[in-house]
Every structure is written in C-alpha cells, then in structure tokens.
Amino acid sequence: MSVLINFLVGFVAAFVGVATPGLLNMSAAKISIKEGRKAAVLFSVGVCVTVLIQTYVALQFAKYLDQHPEVVSMLQKVALGIFICITIYFFFIAKDTRREVPENVKHSKTNRFFYGMLLGVLNLLPLPYWVYISITFSGFGMFTFSQPDLIAAVSASGIGTFAMLFLYIQFFKQKKDSMPSMVNMNYVIGLVTGLISIVTLVKIVKEF
C-alpha cells in the first residue's frame, strides 16, 4: 500500500509541478509544432531522464533528513532565510527567462533527446521541490522512504512529468497561432519559494 501511495504522491507532484507554462513544457510544444511530435517526444524523454536522476538525489537527501529530525529543525531556520532571499531575487532582480526556441536551426531527433536532458539539468527547482514534498507528506504519514517506495516515487515523477509534457505536445501541435506566451519562470519560481517561505515560517512559529 505504501508503494502505491508513494507512486500517487510522486505522479501528482510531478504532474502539477510541470503544469505551469514554462521553458520545458513550452519548448516541447514548440518543437512539436516545428519539427513534429516524434522530436518533441524524444525531447520530453530526455527531460524525464534528468528528472528521474534529480528526484532520486533529492529523495535520498530527504531520507537522511527524515532520519535526523534535529537536522531538519536547524535546516528549517536556514531554509527560511534562503527561500526569502531567493524569492526576492527571482521577483525583483533576475532577468526575464522568456525566450523563443530558435526558428531556423535544424536539429536531429537524437539531438533533441540530449537537448531535453540539458534543459532538465538547467532546471534545478526539482531538487528542493522534491525534498520539501517528500518531507511534508512524510510528516502526514503519506510518504515513506524504504527503497521500494522511493523507486515508486522516482518512477512516478518521470511518468507524471512526461504525461504533462505530452499534453502540451498534443494540445499545441496544430495550434501555433493560439499558443500562450511563455511566462517568466522567475515569477513562477519566486511564487513557489514565497509560498514555501510562508509555510516554513508557520512551522517554525508553531515549534516555539
């Protein structure tokens, strides 16, 4: 049962995490329009390979934290300051991330796979995201850190990410003129870290 719960948490967290229009999903949609669905699917698979690795690393770190609650308490205070600084940076300092996929550059389908991996590597948000998700759900008894359960969550993160990317590919493949503008991902990241800051602050206050 715990394996199924971990899988569901992993799938939903990954699916929701990639739902907001951003660099990864809008790149997949644009590649689908300009180069075909196969190239976009290979790009998405490359992204998912990176996501699997990032999720596994994040969950291993979260597992250590879960076994050392005294470290979690200390890190919560440190994290609060870090998240506040990150929120301020992405809202007010960082440059706009919106940029177009080059129009006239041709890529092989194989290169699209590695391009997906590269963009996945540049997207570091999954690391703190999965640490936070797993620790939070673990506190509610809805996430466990045994090896089979971790494998289920990691696998689900890849499947959930691919499912959302594939929806973008399918929905926009013949709708070039109706594609929404890519949002500035700095604001998305700032919003996420801002919410995390609020939740972390509430938890610290309750501990006093």
124: which 2 tokens? 């570091």
CA distances from 39 to 25, 99, 100, 109, 159 (A): 14, 20, 17, 5, 18
Reading the chain (208 residues) residue by residue, the pLDDT tens digits are 889 999 999 999 999 888 776 778 888 888 888 888 899 999 999 999 999 999 999 999 888 887 877 776 776 677 677 778 877 876 777 655 455 544 444 455 568 898 889 888 877 778 878 887 888 788 778 899 999 999 999 999 999 999 999 988 888 765 554 444 455 556 666 776 677 678 777 777 776 6
Q: What is the pLDDT of residue 120?
A: 86
CA angle, 111 then 116 then 121, to 5°:
125
Q: What is the pLDDT of residue 138?
A: 84
Q: What is the pLDDT of residue 104?
A: 46
Count of alpha carbons within 13 angstroms of residue 144, beta-carbon side? 11
Long-range contacts of 138-147 (CB under 8 A, 24+ apart): 138/62, 138/66, 142/5, 142/9, 143/5, 143/6, 143/9, 144/2, 144/5, 144/6, 145/59, 145/62, 145/63, 145/66, 145/67, 146/2
| Contact call for residues 18 and 129 (beta carbons, < 8 A) | no
d(CA 160, CA 166): 10
Render pLDDT for 148-198 as a digit per residue (tens, 0 to 9): 999 999 999 999 999 999 988 888 765 554 444 455 556 666 776 677 678
What residue spans define the domains of the chain?
Answer: 2-68+100-184
Q: What is the crossing angle of helices 109-122 and 37-67, to 10°?
A: 30
**How many of the other CB atoms lie within 10 Å of CB of 79?**
20
Question: Does pTM top 0.75 for this prediction?
Answer: no
For the CA atoms of 20, 25, 29, 32, the dihedral, rounded to the nearest 10 degrees, stands at: -160
